[in-house]
Amino acid sequence: MHIKIGTRGSQLALWQATFVQQELERAGATCEIVIIETKGDQILDRSLAAIGSKGLFTEELELQLENGTIDIAVHSCKDVQTELKEGLYLIAITEREVVNDVLVSKKNIDIQKRFIVGTSSTRRRAQLSHFYPHIQYVEMRGNLQTRIRKMEEGACDALLLAYAGVHRMGYNEIIVHQFSTDKLTPAVGQGTLAIEASERLPEEKKRLIRSTLNHEATERCIWAERTFLKHMEGGCSVPVFGLCKGNGKNMALTGGVISLDGSTLVKNTIRFEKEMETIAGKTLAQDILEAGGNKILNEIKNKL
């Protein structure tokens, strides 16, 4: 059985695709990696919010899934829009890595003192402004290696990134601080990979891919988070955040939204049991919206 794996071309994306390839080959398949450039890779002179939030890192891969050029697409789960194209679906969710955001620097950074951090995430900037108002930030786009080079050239003192990408690229030694998820709650899907496929994919390939790559407890958490995000109508330009924890049976979903300047934060946690993921996600979104989240979202949409 031969499986064509579509991926973006950054070093991190290739690491992720190679990981998937190795797992599938251990299960008896042969694989090849197909590199596809996305809009998010091409446009680096504007913020993600300025470009638009839907499909920036997935649209071109999905086109290749639709025409059969590739069998699966490997995404960072946090990049995948909540509404997929008709005929496409997430066939597997991999086991989750550490979900926290971290500071990366080659300087001695004191989190309680003023410094400049580089980030392209509205969620991270807003939460930083709320919990650490003394920290300044600058817009920072590009792959991980490009961002580190810009930091070394003096564009900022530190970078604010997801632990998973930093770890996978072997930069653990320059992590200078790991934020608690109580303060910097991660983006929905952070720390895991989403494997997307066409419903037309042959059944034998579907079975092998899912049985090899899917991690059920993580998948249940991701469904809760993505349902929450869907009902919040949040994209990468809107600072909505969500994190589900649990063993696949007893679970807790934390989510919320924060104003762009960090001044107003609405956040809550809901506990639920297995197979209640979508209900929990929808219920939490309704709670957040009614508690003031709707006002925050309307103000953000008027500004963007």
Query: Which amino acids are annotated catalytic?
Result: 79
- Tell me which residue of 194, 4, 160 sits closest to 81, measured CA to CA: 194
- Tell me which residue of 198, 193, 195, 199 sits closest to 65, measured CA to CA: 198
**DSSP 8-state symbol, 173:** G
Torsion of CA 228, 237, 40, 83, to 10 degrees: 30
Backbone angles phi, psi at 189, to 5 degrees: 85, 0
Looking at the DSSP bridge assignments, the partners of residue 197 are 72, 89
- Tell me which residue of 64, 150, 62, 56 sits closest to 106, measured CA to CA: 150
d(CA 166, CA 101): 10
Torsion of CA 48, 54, 60, 61, to 10 degrees: 110
